[in-house]
Structure 1
Amino acid sequence: MRFSRNATGTLFVGGAMALTLTALAYPGMLGLDKVSTAQDRVIANTQWGPLTEQDRDFVVKVRAAGLWEYPVGQIGLQKGGSKAVITASQHLIDGHAALDTTCRKIAPMLNITLPNVASPQQLGFVSTLKSDQGKQFDTDFANILRMTHGSIFNAIAKIRSTTKNSLVRALADQANDTVLDHMTVMEKTGLVDFDQTLFQQTTPPKLPNSDLTPPAPPPGQPEVVLTPPATATASPVDLSGLLGGGGTPAAGASPNPGPTGG
C-alpha cells in the first residue's frame, strides 16, 4: 500500500517547547515524537485561566491541522471516486473551517501566534494525495486521514481533562466532536486498512523537528483564513461568557496574557 511508504507518522503527539518569552507567541518546535517533562508549565496567567505549554501547543496544532486537511478536502471533492469519499471531503472542509475560526478567535486573546503554513510532514501528505489518481487516491485519502485523526484523538482528551484554561477547553470540546466525525466518515468509505493504519498511528517514525513544525509566519503576513463552505453545518464555539478557573475577571483586566517569570 502506498500509504505505508509515503504517509508514515502521526499528526499530533506531544511536543517539547523552548521556554523563552518569544515561545509564548510561537512554539520553537512541535516535535510529534518528543515527550516533554515541562508541558504542564504555566507560561502565562490569563483571565480565562493559566495557559500551559501544552495548551499553547494544542491551539497551534489545531490550526496546523486545518491548514493541510482543508485543502485536502478540496482536492477530494475534485478527485474522489466514490460518494463516501466526496462526503468525507465535505466534512473536512466544513469541520476545519469552523475549528479555524475558533482558533483565530482565541489566539489573540491568549497571545498565541498561529502558523499560516502546515508542517513539512503535513505538506508531504498533501503532496502524496495531489499526485494520486483513481482508486489510489481514495485509498490513501481514507487511510492517511484516519491515521492522523486517530493520532490526535487521545491528545484532545488529555488536553480537555487537564487544562485550566476555559478557552482551551472550549476548543478541545469542538475539536473532539470534529475529529470523531472525521474518523467516522473515513471509516465509512470502507477503504481503511485498520491493521496498517493503527500500526502507523501507534508507531510513529522518528522525524526531525524541522519536519514536524509549522513555520512561524513572517512579520506582517496576512492571516490565512479557511473560508466556511456555503453549505456549512459546523459552527465555531460561542465564546461569550467563558471565564477562567476562578470566577469573574477583575475590572479592567486585559484580554491578553503577559508572560510569566522564567
Structure 2
Amino acid sequence: MGGALVTTLGALLYPAMLRLQKINSAPERVIATPATGPLTEADRDFVVEVRAAGLWEYPVGQTALRKGTTKAVKTAGKHLIDGDASLDAASRTVAGQLDITMPNQPSPQQQSFVAKLNADSGKQFDTDMATLLRATNGRILSTIASVRTTTKNTLVRALADRANGIVLDHITVLENTGLVDFGQALFQETTAPTLPAQDVTPPPPAATQPQVVLTPPANSTLSPSPSAG
C-alpha cells in the first residue's frame, strides 16, 4: 500500500465528529473493507471511544489509590487501572490493523471529569468517583451491546467481547463501594448531551507526538490481548 493511500485512509478513519453519547445512532456507512469484514462509522467510533475512555479512567484509578478513603474505593481504582490498560492495548492493536487513527488525549468533557475529581477530597472524592464512573461505564456498556450485535468486522467484535467483560467488572467494583448515587448515575447515563460536538470528541493526535501507552500494573490479573481472526 502506497504512502498516499495510507494517508488518505488514516484521515478517513479518524472521526471529525465523534458522538460518544449517541454512537448507537451513528450512520452504518461502510468506510473501509478490510479482510476482517466491512468497517462502519459506528465500528470506528467504538474503537476510538474505548481508547478515549481509558485515557481518562486510568488516571482516575491512580487518583483513587492515592485519595480513596476506603478499601473498596482503592479496589475500584486498581480494577480501573488494570482493565483500562488491557483495553488500551487491545484497542491500539485493532486500530493498527484497521488503520484507525487513535487519540492521545480524552475529550474536553472527559478532561473536565478528571479535573473535578482531582479537586475533590475525602468522602466527596469517593462518592463523586463512584457515581461518575458508574454512569459512564453504564453508558459505554450500551454502546458495546449495540456494536457487538451489528458489526460485521471480526476485530471489532473481539474488542467488544473483551470490553464487555471489563466494563461489567468496573461497574461491579464501583457498585461494591456502596457509594454510587444511582439516581444521579441514571440521570447522567440517559440524559442527552447538550455540549457541542468538539467537547465530546477526543482531539486528533499531533503528527510528531508519540503514542501514549497505558502501562498495566505489575500484578495485572488480565491476560494479554487476544488476537482476532
CA distance in 1, matches of 2:221, 2:129: 22
CA distance in 2, matches of 1:58, 1:66: 13
CA distance in 1, matches of 2:37, 2:121: 48
Aligned match of 1:114 in 89, 102, 107?
Answer: 102
Decide whether aligned partners of structure 1 residues 96 and 195 sit closer, same or farther in structure 2, where only a CA change above 3 A counts. same
CA distance in 1, matches of 2:19, 2:137: 17
Alignment correspondent of 1:192: 180
Q: Deviations over 1:36-93 (max 9, x none)?
A: 8662111000011111100000000000000000000001100000000000000000
- Unaligned runs of 5+ residues in structure 1 are 1-19, 244-262
Q: Deviations over 1:193-244 (max 9, x none)?
A: 11121112111331101110100001121000000000101234311xx33x
- Amino acid across the alignment from 1:147: A
Aligned match of 1:64 in 45, 52, 77?
Answer: 52
Once the two structures are TM-superposed, the CA of residue 22 in structure 1 deviates from its matched residue by 5.6
- Unaligned runs of 5+ residues in structure 2 are 1-7
CA distance in 1, matches of 2:9, 2:218: 40
- Amino acid across the alignment from 1:86: K
After TM superposition, the score normalised by the length of structure 2 is 0.92
Matched, 1:97 2:97: no
Once the two structures are TM-superposed, the CA of residue 35 in structure 1 deviates from its matched residue by 6.7
* Identical residues among aligned pairs (%): 62
Superposition CA RMSD, Å: 1.6
Once the two structures are TM-superposed, the CA of residue 21 in structure 1 deviates from its matched residue by 5.6
The structure with the largest alpha-carbon Rg is 1
Q: Deviations over 1:161-212 (max 9, x none)?
A: 1101010011000100011000010100000111121112111331101110
- Contact in 2 for aligned 1:99/1:236 (Cα 8 Å): no
CA distance in 1, matches of 2:187, 2:25: 26
Matched, 1:211 2:199: yes
- Contact in 2 for aligned 1:33/1:207 (Cα 8 Å): no
Matched, 1:142 2:130: yes
After TM superposition, the score normalised by the length of structure 1 is 0.81
Aligned match of 1:53 in 10, 18, 41?
Answer: 41
Which consecutive aligned stretches of 4+ in structure 1 deviate over 6 angstroms post-superposition? none
Matched, 1:168 2:132: no
